[in-house]
Each structure stands twice: as structure tokens, then as C-alpha cells.
Structure 1
Amino acid sequence: MSRRWRIIGGIVAVAVLALAAGPWVYGTWIAEDDEPAAAVSTSGARPAEGGVDGQWTVVPGSAPNQTAAGYTVHEILNGADVTVVGSTGDVSGSATVESGKLTAAEVTVQVASIKTDNSRRDGQFAGNVMNVKAHPTATFVLDAPVDLAAVPTDGTAGAVTATGTLTLKGTALPVTVDVEVLRSGTALIASGSVPVTWTDFGVTPPSLGFVTVDGAGTVDFLVSLEKS
């Protein structure tokens, strides 16, 4: 065999190896887990000011308790699990507290604004996965009162359980979520993660060759509220 053909053969062999090993290399050595979804932080928290009863409105908040919502999933890359977190600060909502109980709450998320660190993934999410043109928002509406009596007023966080209706891609289903609640100064801050099976909401997890997405994940939120 001539030297020229040996060189060409070597180049072809390297190219084939790169194509075969590329996904494994990416999944094993390059891809990294995202940071966990936002959760209530007591860093710098202050004792609560004023009573909890009243009308509350979702506001942007400030670090480390900035309002955000989104999702957490696992991507499977040739056997390598990579945690992906998508989030947005484009969140609105309100809540009503009467006699120490959360009696009404609604949170709305602009789904098209949810982003990860990968624009191609975000394009798939907004288009084929969530069809944001037809279903631009996701919502959570409280269905039953939540007693806030156990939430501390000294700048530490407490836990409550909330039941409500989660609407994704036009499908509304009942959900239960454990919520961490913090009263700090004049702010009321809450975070939680709702476990979901995507197909229950008419969402088909992507499967694109060597990359697939788990059929279950979580819908995550951290909301900072101030009295209206």
C-alpha cells in the first residue's frame, strides 16, 4: 500500500473513532451537572417585621433569594447522567393570608423565557417539547388553605405542605408539594420542587440519538413576596 493511501486510511480511522467515541467523551469528561434548583436561603435573613396576614405580591427579590422558576431533569448521554436545570425570573403571582393561613395563591411562569446553558436545548424545549406559542405560561394555583403558624419569625425557615393545581402545556393536574418558607424582614419567601412525570402533562421527553431525557423530573420555584 502506498504511503498516500496509508495516510488516508489513518485519517478515516481517526474520524470513525471520533464519531463513535465523541458522545462517550462528552458524557464522561465534558458534560457537567448544573447547580441545584434555587432553594430558600437564610443567609442574611432578619426577624420578621409586621404580621403575616394580608395581600402579597411576587417581586424579583434579591440574592440569594431571587424569584425564579423552571425545571430539573436528567439527560442520559450513553449511560452518563447529567443534571440539567432550566430557570427564569419571569414569574408573577399573588397570595392571600388570613388568620395565619394561606388561603389563596397563584404563580404564573412565562415558559418561553426558561433557559439553560445551551441554546440548542432551549430551542427544542420551547418548540417541540413545550410548544410555547400555543402554551406560553405554566401556572400553580393553591387548592386548599395552608397553616403558616409553624413558620418561624426569627429569620429561620419552616416547612409546610401545599396542595394545588399545576398546569403545563395546557394540562392541569392536582399536585402536592413540600414548601420551605422564610419570613425575613418584610419579605415572605417560599421554595419547592414538584415531582412530575412529563407524559402526564402531554410533554414528550426528547430522545435525540445518543441524548435522551428521563421521563420524570421536577418543576421548581422560589418566590419572594412583599405585601401589596
Structure 2
Amino acid sequence: MGQYKNQAEAEAAGVYISKVKSYVKREGRLTKAQGRALEQFWPTMGIDYQPELLDLSTVFGRTAPVVLEIGFGMGKSLVEMAEAAPEQDFIGIEVHRPGVGACLAEAGERNLTNLRAMEHDAVEVLKNMIPDGSLSRLQLFFPDPWHKKRHHKRRIVQPEFAELVRQKLCIGGHFHMATDWEQYAEHMAEVMNAAQGYSNTAAEGDYVPRPDYRPITKFETRGQKLGHGVWDLIYERTK
């Protein structure tokens, strides 16, 4: 950042500062089914990025608790959660286009009306499109752990991100993280325990049992058979 104290100050001076990305953009190849799903369902289930706040009641045609998931992969778990909770509305953000296509294909097949998808950088979406105090839950399941020490700065769970999430959650809303990397789980707990305006919902220690609403993925089941652990952390916005 050099002589500038923060990103906003640099931008005000007309200086571009490259941002550290918490993900790697992987285009991948769309299958024909994924391509068709994008064409067919994006007009009704997709949200295009634009730097202005969404009216969530207009997006879904009703007022209901909104759950936002960052990095939904191929979307299977997100679709299952949306189908199991028709009284809630779900927004999924993913930068991998084939994953977006797969999610829309499955959601469309199940005729879901309470799910919307976005293909964009999640931090920019949160900052520019999600109204403060509008989310009942934000989900971050199995983000890239960036396990090499020199890459730890790329981990999405950092103090600035925790504060951004807090602003977007309603009072009493939950920030739910899950990871299969113990060191990343420890990092998440360290960041969140120091963050203002949150309370850890764990009865003891830092971690909670997997809630029923979070489906177990094939990847997770395979890992459990190999003896790999999974750590869930849920923090409630208190102020």
C-alpha cells in the first residue's frame, strides 16, 4: 500500500493497488448440460453483478430469512439446503462457471424458487450489493486453506472480512464456517474470537457439531473414512 493507509485512500488518489485474491479463477469446461442450464435458468435464477444494493424482497418476490453461501462448488449441497428449507431464501456465490451451471441445472430440475446464483468475487458482492443487516446466515464451507505459510494472507477469513460479514448479518445472525484443515480451523477461531460483535455458539471450546442443515458431501464422507476431521465453527452477531 506504500504511502497510502488503505485501499480507499489509494483509490481517491487515483492509484490502483492490486488486491490479494482468496481464490484462483478456474474456468474449466462447461458440459452441454451446464451450458443449457445457464441459458435456461440464468434469466430467473441468476443475479448479475452490479455495484448497487439489491432489494432482496424484490429478488425473491417475498420477505424471508436470507442465507448466503460463498463458494458453493458444484452446488449440490446448496440445492439440498434450499429444497429442505422452503421458508428461507438462498443466494450462492461461485467463481467457477461450470459449478454455477451445475447448480442451476439441479435447482431447475427440482423447480426451486428460493435459490439465486451469482458468478463474481464474493467480497465485492458483499461490499456493494448486500444490504447491511440483511442476512440470517452466511456460510463458508471448505474454503481454500492456502496451507503454505507464505500463502496464509490469501485465506478469506481475516479480521477485515469478519467485520464485513458482521455488517451484513442481522443481529442474531450466524457466520457458519467449516473446514477439513485443522490449522485453518484454528486460524478461523483465532480471527473470530478476536472479532468484535460476535459470540461463539460452541457450548465448549471453539467448535460445534455439524448442524443438521449442512449436508455431508461425498468429499467429506470419503475424508471421514480416511480418518480426516472436519471442524464447524458458528459465530453469532451480537451487536
Q: Tell me if TM exceeds 0.5.
A: no
Q: Into which bin does the TM-score normalised by the smaller protein fall? A: under 0.3
TM-score by length of 2: 0.19
Q: More strand by proportion, 1 or 2?
A: 1
Q: More helix by proportion, 1 or 2?
A: 2
User: Which structure has the larger Rg over C-alpha atoms?
Assistant: 1
